[in-house]
Each structure stands twice: as structure tokens, then as C-alpha cells.
Chains A and B, each alone.
Chain A
Amino acid sequence: MLWIKLLKVYNRNIFRSLSIIIVILIFVLLVLTPNIVSALLSSEFYSTVIEKIDTHYMITGTVSIDNVELLKRFVYEYDRPHRNIWLILEARVDAVVGSREFNGFRLYTGYPNHLDAVSFIAQSIYGRGNVSRGEIIVGSSVAVNVSSVLSVAVSGDRETRYFNFTVTGLYDPKPIMYVRAGPFGYESGVTTFGAPQGYIHPSDFEELISSIDAKFLYYRVVVMYEKDFFRGLDLGKIIERLNQSNMEVKKSVSALADVRDEYDNLSSQLAIYTFTRTFINVGIYTNAIPFFIGVWYFLSINIDLLIGDYRREIAILRARGIPSRRLFNSLIIYLILLTILASIVGSLSAPLWIPVILSSIGVEAAYDIESLIDPVASLGVAITTIIIVFFTLYRKRKIFRDILPSDAIHRYEYGVEAIHESRIGRFTIIMFILGTIKLVEWLLNINVFEYMNRVDNLYIFIILAIYGMISGFLNIFAPIFFIYSSIEILTHSRRVVRFLSRVSSWLVRGGLRDILANYVYRSPRWMSRAAFISSLMIALMIFSLIYSARTVSFYNDYTRITNTPDIIIPLPKGVYSSFDEYKSGLATYLEDVEGVGGWGVGYEIFIEYFIYNNKNRTDIPGRILVFSSVDDFFNVVYLGGSWNYYGLVDIRDALGSGIILSDRFLGYLENLMGYRLGDPIKLGISYGLPYQGAFPPVPERPELGQVIDTRVEGVLYVAPKRYDGYTTLEAIGPINISLYNVQPVLYIDVAEGYDVADVRRQLSSIGLSSVPSIEETPDIFVGLGREFQIISSYSYHIYMVLGIVAALASIFILSIQHVKSMLRDVVILRARGFGVRDIFSFMYSSSLYIVIFSIVLGILVGYLSGMGVSQMNIDGLVGGRLDYPLNIGLTGLLDVLVVVLLYLATPLPAIIRYINVNVSEGLRRVEH
């Protein structure tokens, strides 16, 4: 068999075969990494909730108990805009009652669940002027025949904001104030926007809302006066005072507008996502794309060099009459054998050392190695790798035809294609332009989508949209484009190469330094390829460090403030064809759970979100109600029938106003979910205890086993969208899926002093099996965005290690190749009388310029892409801290330093190997 004999020829160069095996091995490991990371994390995380939710992960941020306290804190400390709303209220009260002996006023709320919020607002008014403590009336509605409505709107239309203030109607005021502050939502029984009740239909309101630019900030203050209150008063004077107070109101609202930006920063982000495991794996693979490209390129170079090594043999065999096709086939077989060998080694060893890498960054996962070995995946990887190797070689098939028999008698020299001889292709220029644009974008932190929201011109919008698409694509490919094209272009410049080689030649004696610059300039092209690979790997390393550090930093903060439940019970997942079906399905479980606690329960519908502040404030967890009315809310939560709603807290009232949701958001809901205004848009459902006030009091010491706070949460998938000056929450793609394919999870906090295990046993007795408690489960309940990004950062760590190994291997192998190709020149220099020290400095310097390329370009691109991409995440996904944690920064710096030192040291073994070559022996070797 001819090909077997040929294999012996190919296998003669063990070094080359080994280097190809190493490259393929790295390739295999890269492909296997997502599976193994995912499996490892399964054992760590998924054995809890996630494992039971195999199609998507329902993970939301939760605040365990005492929402009221939380909300108060929120209001007191952070919500200055709402404080301005109260200023308005105070102004109105002053205007109305400030001129008379006023014994008090009454704040009235028709809904017990508003009590807390309303009393809170009332407290903020107490003590001003003659206003005395009012009476809080709970539990009944008052017929308000005619009232006064004060509407305040602040619109932010691009650069300008304008203030709209209207007072309509002041009829028969009664000495009872009905105070309601909240977002634009209208409520039954309450006068709505700009007109007394009965004079405006809800659809008018909708129309009004939709007529306002989507970028608006809207607050509505409804102040209604009962006419008894004003009996005997000079209404004209009151109206005058009201008018006088307008200025104050305007000031307040103006201040509100001023702080809006800050508020936006505070309330920017919400990240609750749904991802399938496949999606996560795809995400991890996406992370690996640059590494794949680098390693593939490295493989390509190695195959090139392999052919170069055997050029003479190939030429001789061709001279003996063997066709090039058979030679090509035999080399393919040889490479496939190497690939299979590397695949087997990689598949078997990956489960061993990937955990080692993870544990090196503090991720300890209990796992069964056997479970990590996936024969099917390994086979798939082997086949994939073989295909890649085949096509890599296939690309070079022309070489087999081009090697002429006459080459057999000529000495083949490396570096046939020198850097300066190759042309800078058009594609390279395009890559350079695109890469540079993206880098500048990262450098200046430009968000094209922000600009898209600002432009009026359709054509400019389209151009920006197209650029946005390209920009998204470049998030992955820009580093590759920039590094590759930069090296191509730079190495074509004699001046640049001369400069770099001079920089790297401080070891070299003066005269030789000039020669070295030209020597390097005329070096083979694969030297620049080595620079490309190692630059890319350094860039990716720095990118990974920044990206993961910033991500982890953010989530560390996030986790710190997150209280995860004691007990987590995944309820059976349902696939629901409609939202009604979902509600009724969920109600079944709620009823069951209710029996456990034995308490009256309420439900609350909310969007879990996190406010992140980068202006020296604490992270603020919070919730926003986005359903449109309390009545609608009741409709939603009235699921099973055996509940009461005393636990309900309308956060709108408590907060005055939360995040403003645009009409576009509602549009999404309508289009994607068949949402009708009045339907809930949030599937997060809290099954909780009643709160204080008129509700059944929480016992100071619950009975043993009594569940004092339980929640069942669904999932809502929304994403914040940042506009100019403010933020809205907008539904993201899979919202319809998440609606109807939901895994309810029961979160239970057990009161202090009670045994979690007992509660769990009780739950178990009614068929609700809990997953491990918080002590046994990591902080996974802080958002899938975190989950995904943590996994992502884990995978980056592995890729980073693989990348560095690949880069070091590439520099090492190519250094040897470079030094080997220098052997002839070195021997000549030695023969001319240069000493070992001269030769060493010459060789080392000529290798060093690759390292300089790698480090300079790598650090530049890595830093910019790391900052850029993590910033993008902050804007678009989860939010995060902009600063770079010092300790992680120093660690990163140390890592980079170590790698740089390794890079510097890598060429040394190859140089030392050849530096002491016997001159006469060397001459004989190179001459024959």
C-alpha cells in the first residue's frame, strides 16, 4: 500500500506531527468545553431548580419579605422624583386650606391595599402650616360627584421637555381630599386625565397617551376636593392661591425633570430572561468563535508548514511519477489519523482538566467524571474536526500541483512568500476599516441604537439601522478583523517594521541592528501570522478578564442584596395555550399552597427589577407594578377563589410613579401576547402574607411550621430600553413563549426560629417536594442574565486558558520554525565571526518583534473590546458597574504580566537549541 509508505514519510518529522496534534487537541477541547461546562454547572446549579426546569430557567430576583419596608426605603432614600410629586400635593393643600383655620384634612383611599402608601404620603404632608393630622378612612368608597382634577405632565421630547399643567373643574368641593399619585394608569372610580369622572372615557385616555411622544415622562396627580370642605370659603381666593401655587408646582416638576436622568440611571435595568440550555450552549459557543478562528488559523499555518517540510519529498515522489492527487490523499489520511488520535485524547482528558481550570477560579462543582464524558458529543467533535482539517488541507491542494519535480533537486527554503512580497488585499483594507470603526465605537462608548431613537429622518434611521446590524456582527469579529488587518498592513510598511524591530533589538549591537530590521522586514509571512494568533489570544485574554470581572463584580453586588428564599418548590411546569389557562393552572397550586400556611393570602403582580446606580448609591432592588388598574389586578389574582387580597400593595401608590412604560411597550404586549389593556402583563405572582394596617396582623411568633411568606412567581421577560434621558421597560422576544410555557416556583421564607426542614417536611407531606435550601444552593435566583453571564464568564476562563495555551504553542512552534529557518543564516553569521551572544540577540530580537506585535495589539484590542462589550451588556442586558474592581484589576494585570513573560520566554528554548550549533556541521546541513 503506497499510502502506508507515505505515512511513514510524513511521520518522520515527529515535531511537526506533535504540533499538529496539539493544535487539533486544543480545537477539540474548545468544541467540548460548552458541553462540559454546562454539565458541570448542572451538577452545581441545575441539580436545584434549574435541572428541573429543563427547557427554560425561571430565575428572578426576589426580595423575601416586607415589601413595605423596602418600598419605604426606596421612596425615602432614592426616589426624589416622587418627592417632587408630594411637593405638588403639599402646594395644593397649602393653596386650598392655608388661608383658614384648618383643623385637618382627610386622605382617603378606596382600597385597603393602598393604605400603606397613602398613609405614607399623608405623613409627608403632616406638620406643614396649619395642616393637622387627617383622618385615614379605609374600606369604603366615597361618591365624588364633581371634583377637581389636577394633571401634571412632563414630556421629554428629545432635547426639550415641556411642562403641561392643567386644572379642570372645581365643582362643589368637599372637605375631603382624595389623593392619588401614580403613573398614568387610570382607575375605576377615579377621575382620569384632565377631566372629571364621567366626562372622560378610558379610551380618551389611551388616545391621549398614544398621542404623546413615546419618550415621555408622565406623572399624574389627582386632587379631588369634596365640596363640604370648601363650604363658606371664598372660592375665588382659593382659585387665586391655586394659581399662585402653579409656579411652585412648575418648579417642582422642573426639578423632577432635572433629576430624571439620574433617576433613569437608577432605574435602568431589569434582566429576566428565558434561555434554554441549548441557548446557553449556543451562547458559550458564540463566545468561543474568536478562539475557534485563532486555533483554526494556527492549524492552517501548521499544515502549511507541514507541506513545506515535505516539499522536497513531495517533489521527489512526483518526479517518480506519483500523481499529486495521491499525495494529497495520503496526507489527508495522515492528518485524519492525527485528528482521531487528538480527538480521543481530547475527549477523554477534557472532563479531567476543565474542572481543574474551573476550580482554579473558585468554581467547585461536585461531579461525576463519567457523566461528563459524552461519547456522542465526542464522536461529533471528532467528525467535525476531521471535516475542518480536511477543508483546511483542501484549501491548500493547489500546493501539491505547484510543487514541481524540479523542486526536488533545489533546496527548499522557508519564507518563500515574504511579508513584503504579499499584497495587501482589498478585503484586508475592508477588515481594517470595519475593525477600526468598532474599536472607536467602543473607545467612545457609542450606542448607535440610542441615536436611532433620536433621528427624524427616515433615511438616516435606515442607515443607522444597517450600521447597527453591522455593529452587532462586529462585536464578535472586530477584534479579529482589526488585529489581522493591522498586522498585515503594518508588516508591509518597512518603516513600521524597522521601528518595531529596532524596539525589540536593544540586545543587538549597533551595526547588526540595522541589518536585523531589514532581515525581519523580509521574513516569511507566517511570522506575521504568529503575531496574529498571539495578538488575538492576548486580546481575548484581556477581554475575558475585563468582561468577567465586570460581570462578576456586578453580580456580586447583586447577590449581596438579594435574599434568596429558604425553600424552593418547583411546581409542575405547564404549557399553556392562553393566559387564562395559565392563570387557572397556577391557581390550582396556589390553593394547595394556601393550605400549608393557613393564612389569608394575597397575590401581587409585579415585575422584578433591579435598579442599579453607578453614582455612589447602593443597589436598589425593587418592583414595579405594570398592570394598568387595581381592578384588573384583582381580576388576575382572583384565581382560585379562596383567597383574599389584603396583602396587596399597589406599588404605584407607594411609589407615586415607577418606571414609565411606553406605549410601545403596551404595543408589544398587545401584538405579542394578545394583551388587552386591563390584562396583566406580568406573570410574576407573589403569594404572600398580608401586610400591616387593616390586614390580619402578622403574628409575632408564628406557630411552628407556619409559613409566613410564600410566593409563587411566574416569569416575565422584559428588557429595559434606554432612551434619551429616561428608560422604559420593553418586552423582549420570547415573551409569548414565557407566558405560556411557564414553570411556577414556590419560594418560601421560613420565620426566624423555625426549622426549615420541618417546613419542608410539611410541604413534602402534601406532595410539594422542595429543592435544596439556600445553604445548599448558590445564589441562582438573581436573574438568568446573571446565570448566563456567570456561565459565560466561566467558559471564558476556560477559553482563555485554551487560548493562551494555543498562543504559547503557536509562538513556540513558530519560533522553532523561525529559528530553524534562520539556521543557515545563523551559521553564516557564526562563520563570519559573530559570537554566540551576537547570534542570540539577533535571533531573539527577530522573534521578539512578534511578541511586541502580540502584546501591543492584543492589549489595545482586548481592553477596548472588553470595556465595550461589557458596557454593551450593561446597557442592553443586565446593568453593571462601570468601574473596574481593583483587586480583580490587579489580578488581571498580574495575569497579563505572567503571560507576557511567558511570551518573552517562549522563543528561548528554540534559540538555545540552535545557538550553539557547530559551524562546520551547520554549514554541511544547510548546504546539502
Chain B
Amino acid sequence: MSSTSYIDVRDVVKVYETATGGVTALRGVSFTVDKGELAVVMGPSGSGKTTLLSIIGGLDRPSAGEVYVDGQPIHKMTSRQLDEFRRRNIGFVFQFLNLIPKLTAYENIYIPMVARGVKDGKKRIEYIADALGIANKLDRLVEELSGGEQQRVAIAAAVAADPPIIIADEPTAELDGETIERIMDFFMELKSGGKTIIIATHDPRVSRKSDKIIVLEDGLVRGVYRGGELTTSEVAVKGYRDYLRRRLMEIDDELRLLGERYKRGELSIDEFHKRYNRLREIKAFLEDELKFG
């Protein structure tokens, strides 16, 4: 049975087999995303966000359920078909960036274009790099770039081959507010160009600009909100506020853990400060969201 939505996720279950038994990451997730939408998947750590994005992006197959992208049943595709599907349709921004350190920023961005058979991508790469503020970093090995710059290289790599769908897993993690704004502007520009974008994030600054928010928890969809519902629907607001509270508690735990690791000598002072400030920043924002949202 085909689907009318651009991306249609139906009762998707994903079980990972481990030595000690199966671990269920998704327990029957269903939602749709229309073409040209910017959808955000939110949820606490371990809720199944990355797994869900992997399945939509054709990196993995569901254990059960169906996934249609532009009418194609990707849950039925062979490995080779999935390769082709990814090559043609998906631009991925990985949570851990997954850039190839031995290659320069330019080469990393160029790779998806090679995969898609784009002959001369130089102008496009320069355009994207300029939009993301890394135009002067293209000749550098990625391992020589800062975390934020690497993040932008990863985003550039995802969009370089001009895929219709962009999937980004925590694309703004570890970034400062100014860079996040810049990246979101870039995503909005892509969206206005007709790209469908799915972003997994904790960051309310990202979710606020989305057309749709999918809240995952323990492998289940706890709520799907349209961008405008958060200002009109009581239920939507309540669900959203519950999510924010849980996220705040998580951040408190992360802060405590961070302090312990620092005391054990596992973190340098610089690393500790960087992460601590980042978490404090998010916490403050979430608290603001709770107070005024």
C-alpha cells in the first residue's frame, strides 16, 4: 500500500539483537512528514531518535512496520537499492559528524557529489561553504577545524549533492547561539527551496522554527505537534511542557556527571568548562521556555 505523504512512517518497530537478548529501540512509531516540511524529532536520550532517523534515511531497516519515502517502500529495499536511495534522496548530518579526518573540508563535502555523479561541484561547494561561514576553511583537514566548523562541514556535506531530503541528528549540538542561528537560517533557506528536513534535537531554538515536532519517548511517539499548535492547543502545550521538564532533569544529571568526571581527572579543565557552559546555556533556555512557553 503506497502513501500520499512524502514521508510516511507506519508502526515501525526496531529491535537490536544483542548477546543478552533483544533491545527494542522503537515500539511502533507512526507519523508523516509532508514534502517541504521541516520536522523536528525531540525526546530524551535513548528515546530512539537516531534509530528513527537511520530508518528514514535508509541506513537501517525496521524490524517491523513500513516506511514510505516519496511513495517508495524503503523497508522492502535491498542493500543495493538502499545505497541508490540514499545516493539520490538523502543528505545526512550525523550526530558525531562522521567526517573523514584524512580528507580536507572540501573533499568531505565533495564526496556525496561524487557518489551522485556530479561532475563539477566546485561552485556549489563554495556557495554552501559561504552560506555556512566556512569558505576559508575548505582546504583544511577536518581534524584541524574546530568543533563548530566541523559541524558546518558536516551540514555542507549533507546538502552538497542537492538531495530532496535532509536528515540531521543533533546538528546544533556543541554550537554557540550565533552559529545555531546561522545554521537554522540555512536550513530555512533550504526548506524554502522545497527540501524536506528532519532534525533530531534537544534545542528549543531549533524546534521553534519547525513545521512539526515529533516527541519520542522510550521508543514511542508521545505527541506530534504542528508548529502552530504550541500556541493554540492546551494538550499540545501540556505535552510539550512535560517534555521540557524531563529534559531539564536530564540536564541536571548531565551536569552532576560532568563534575564527577572532572574530579576524577577524566576531563581537562577546558573541556569541562566548554561542556558545562553549553549545558547551562541549554538549561537556561529550557527554563525560559517553561516560564514563557
Contacts and interface: CB of A to CB of B under 8 A. Distances in A.
**Interface residue range, chain A:** 35 or more
Contact of B83 (A405, A515, A830, A927): A830
Interface stretch (A106-114, A243-251, A389-397, A518-526): A518-526
Contact of A833 (B83, B101, B141, B264): B83
A415 B92 contact: no
A824 interface: yes
User: In the complex, which range does the number of interface residues on chain B fall in?
Assistant: 35 or more
A674 to B, nearest CB: 72
Contacts of A704: none
B187 interface: no
A836 B80 contact: yes
A131 interface: no
Nearest to A821: B102
B98 A523 contact: no
Contacts of A418: 102
B149 interface: no
Nearest to A927: B96
A828 B110 contact: no
B88 interface: yes
Contact of A831 (B98, B101, B102, B161): B98
Interface of A is mostly: helix
A358 to B, nearest CB: 46
B60 A919 contact: yes
Contact of B115 (A519, A838, A916, A919): A838
B134 interface: no
B103 A512 contact: no
Contacts of A276: none
Nearest to B98: A828
B268 A923 contact: no
A832 B80 contact: no
B266 interface: yes
B92 A511 contact: no
B114 interface: yes
B141 A319 contact: no
B90 interface: yes
Contacts of A518: 102-104, 107
B11 interface: no
A411 to B, nearest CB: 9
A831 B59 contact: yes
Contact of A319 (B79, B100, B264): B264
A522 B116 contact: no
B115 A834 contact: yes
Interface string A405-437: 110110001010010000000000000000000
Contact of B113 (A415, A511, A827, A828): A511
Nearest to A827: B98
A405 B265 contact: yes
A408 B266 contact: yes
Given A515-B103, A920-B54, A833 B266 contact: no
Contact of A927 (B92, B95, B107, B114): B95
A232 B101 CA distance: 111
Contacts of B115: 829, 832-834, 838
Nearest to A315: B266
A75 to B, nearest CB: 75
Given A518-B102, A518-B103, A923-B59, A833 B95 contact: no
Interface string B74-85: 000001100110
Contacts of B51: 920
Interface string B263-276: 01111100100000
B27 interface: no
B86 A832 contact: yes
Given A405-B266, A511-B119, A522-B103, 20 more contacts: A519-B100, A519-B102, A519-B103, A522-B102, A831-B59, A831-B94, A832-B92, A832-B112, A832-B115, A833-B86, A833-B87, A833-B90, A833-B112, A833-B116, A835-B83, A836-B79, A838-B115, A919-B60, A923-B59, A926-B98
13 contacts: A515-B103, A515-B110, A518-B102, A519-B100, A519-B102, A523-B102, A833-B86, A833-B87, A833-B161, A835-B87, A836-B83, A921-B60, A927-B94
Interface of A: 319, 405-406, 408-409, 413, 415, 418, 509, 511-512, 515, 518-519, 522-523, 824-825, 827-836, 838, 916, 918-921, 923, 926-927
Interface of B: 51, 54, 57, 59-60, 79-80, 83-84, 86-88, 90, 92, 94-96, 98-104, 107, 110-119, 141, 157, 161, 261, 264-268, 271
Which 4 pairs show the lowest CB-CB distances between chains A and B? Answer: A833-B87, A511-B114, A920-B60, A522-B102
